[in-house]
Amino acid sequence: MAKVLCVLYDDPTDGYPTTYARDDLPAIDHYPGGQTTPTPEAVDFTPGHLLGSVSGELGLRDFLEKAGHTLVVTSDKDGTGSAFDRELADADVVISQPFWPAYLTAERIAAAKNLKLAVTAGIGSDHVDLDAAVAHGVTVAEVTYSNSISVAEHVVMMTLSLVRNYLPSHQVVLDGGWNIADCVARSYDLEGMHVGTVAAGRIGLAVLRRLAPFDVRLHYTDRHRLPREVEQELGLTFHASTAEMVPHCDVVTINAPLHPETEGLFGDKLLATMKRGAYLINTARARIVDRDAVDRALRGGQLAGYAGDVWYPQPAPADHPWRTMPHHGMTPHISGSSLSAQARYAAGTREILESWLAGRPIRDEYLIVDGGALAGTGAHSYSVTK
Ligand code: NDP
């Protein structure tokens, strides 16, 4: 029987919801490109309910306990003596979401003698030391595509919100004011602007598709070019590198994974080559940008705005400079954890557990590490040092 340790974010400050704003979710059975949404044998939760917080338990308790397994859920994940550290000692499976990552460092993996499976309920397994997972034969899986469109929608929202100066204008209303000039002195139309994405994978391409109807000029860079028909359909300009692309862009959105090639990519040097007054949106991973260089670029006017939802570490400390830098539209890490996304990645987590517990192969598209090597999606998107 397995011990499953699930690290989830805290419940709402006023308690676990008893009612919701809406009664149902749209039915979606395929992602763009044809991959099916998760196909567990059953689920024990109501889609549209809060599943990613401690009391939501990703809807896993009945399923696991009826089969004789143990489920431990905690939000206490950092620092020595955390519940995560204590429970990890004999856990077989660890599950966490990138929004509230249980950092599975090499030390923790070495100490977790029973650990066999680490599941990311969502996408992005950079909180797991993949070298250590490979070395210790730990399988790593994530629910590929489950929240890609959720993030793309967040990018579009943040792009419009920065360019049109939405958040400060909304604040004027909350403050009881009506100074139109205060609102519009930094407000522009997106129409006609040059928008570029660093990477055009699932999220980057979805962002391009969603922005195309705004009559913008679209640019991208990626390790591989998109098919010619997609470039033509969307009127895309391809650039061989990020450095070549960003001087042309009014808006840059980062949709690449964090790996050695992208870590610290947007530092003082690259930011200085952007158009003065460009906007930068990063919903990928915080460490792709230099935290303090972004702060400096906003204060000095090189960037007109920065938005995103990824921070390092997470949760961000109260004195993190991005909380107080000017012209930002940051949210906590929420873009991929809408109630719609939660229903998909909770179902995907259940599908992964059903397969793993029954000794069946996990869907290839969910696999990051398996059998002591990168596997499936991981073999394409991630790298390890050995
Ligand atoms: P995909 O794997 O579909 O796409 C990533 C793309 O990035 C691929 O086309 C890849 O190319 C390309 N790429 C990799 N390295 C570079 C580079 N150095 N320069 C340019 N392009 C590069 O991933 P997704 O679109 O699904 O997700 C992107 C990232 O977004 C994830 O890695 C994750 O960190 C983040 N994310 C954030 C979420 C949030 O809640 N904020 C939720 C989900 C994901 P190639 O195919 O050649 O490898």
Q: Which atom of ligand 1 is nearest to the CA of 221?
A: 20
Active site residues: 147, 285, 314, 333
List, for residues 242-262, the tens digit of each pLDDT value: 999 999 999 999 999 988 899
pLDDT at 217: 98
Determine the residue of 148, 150, 154 to mutate for testing ligand 1's pocket, defined as the one with the most ligand atoms within 8 A of the Cβ atom. Answer: 148
The arithmetic mean of pLDDT across residues 198-210, rounded, is: 98
Instruction: Decide: 218 and 193 in contact? Cβ < 8 Å.
Output: no
Q: Which of 35, 123, 130, 244 to mutate to test the pocket of ligand 1 (most atoms within 8 A of CB)?
A: 123
Annotation-wise, does 203 bind a ligand?
A: yes
Whether the pLDDT of residue 382 is over 90: the answer is no
Q: Which of 381, 382, 383 to mutate to test the pocket of ligand 1 (most atoms within 8 A of CB)?
A: 381
- How many Å lie between the centroid of ligand 1 and the Cα of residue 74? 29
Domain boundaries, the chain: 3-145+337-374, 148-323
Over residues 151-194, the pLDDT tens digits come to 999 999 999 999 999 999 999 999 999 999 999 999 999 999 99
Residue 285 has pLDDT above 70, yes or no: yes
Question: What is the pLDDT, as a whole number, of residue 188?
Answer: 98
Taking the alpha carbons of 332, 123, 314, 220 in that order, is the dihedral positive or negative?
A: negative
* Mean pLDDT, the chain, whole residue set: 97
pLDDT of residue 142 exceeding 70 = yes
- Residue 386 pLDDT > 60: no
Q: Which residues contact 61 (CB under 8 A, 6 or more apart)?
A: 44, 71
pLDDT tier at 42, thresholds 50, 70, 90: very high
How far apart are the CA of 362 and the centre of ligand 1, in A?
21
- C-alpha 142 – ligand 1 centre gap (Å): 14
Q: Residue 384, Cα to own-chain centre: how many angstroms?
A: 20
- Known binding residue 334? Answer is yes
Predicted pLDDT of residue 8: 98
Q: What CATH number should be reported for the domain whose range is 148-323?
A: 3.40.50.720
* Tens-digit pLDDT profile for residues 78-135: 988 999 999 999 999 999 999 999 999 999 999 999 999 999 999 999 999 999 999 9
Task: Assess whether pLDDT exceeds 60 at residue 16.
Answer: yes
- Residue 348: enclosing H or E segment and its boundaries? helix 339-357
CA–CA distance, 64 with 172 (Å, rounded to integer): 50
Outline where DSSP puts E strands in the chain.
3-7, 70-74, 93-96, 117-120, 139-142, 194-198, 217-221, 236-239, 251-254, 278-282, 303-308, 367-370, 373-374
Q: Output the residue whose Cα is nearest ligand 1's atom 11.
A: 223
Mean pLDDT along residues 191-202: 98
Q: Does the CB atom of residue 147 touch ligand 1 within 6 A?
A: yes
* Closest by CA position to 154, among listed 337, 356, 342, 349: 337
For residue 108, how far is its CA from the centre of ligand 1 (angstroms)? Answer: 26
Is any ligand 1 atom within 6 A of the Cβ of residue 335? yes
Per-residue pLDDT reduced to its tens digit, 351-369: 999 999 999 999 999 999 9
Question: Is 223 assigned a ligand-binding role in the annotation?
Answer: no
Atom from ligand 1 closest to the CA of residue 154:
41
The predicted-structure confidence for 258-283, as pLDDT tens digits, reads as follows: 888 999 999 999 999 999 999 999 99
Closest protein CA for atom 30 of ligand 1: 284
The pLDDT assigned to 44 comes to: 97
The pLDDT score that the predictor gives to residue 79 is 84
Q: For the chain, how are helix, strand and coil distributed in percent, rounded to 5?
A: 35, 15, 50
Ligand 1 atom showing the smallest separation from residue 259 Cα = 15
3-145+337-374 fold: Rossmann fold (3.40.50)
SS3 label, residue 154 = helix
Domain 148-323 in the same topology as domain 3-145+337-374 = yes
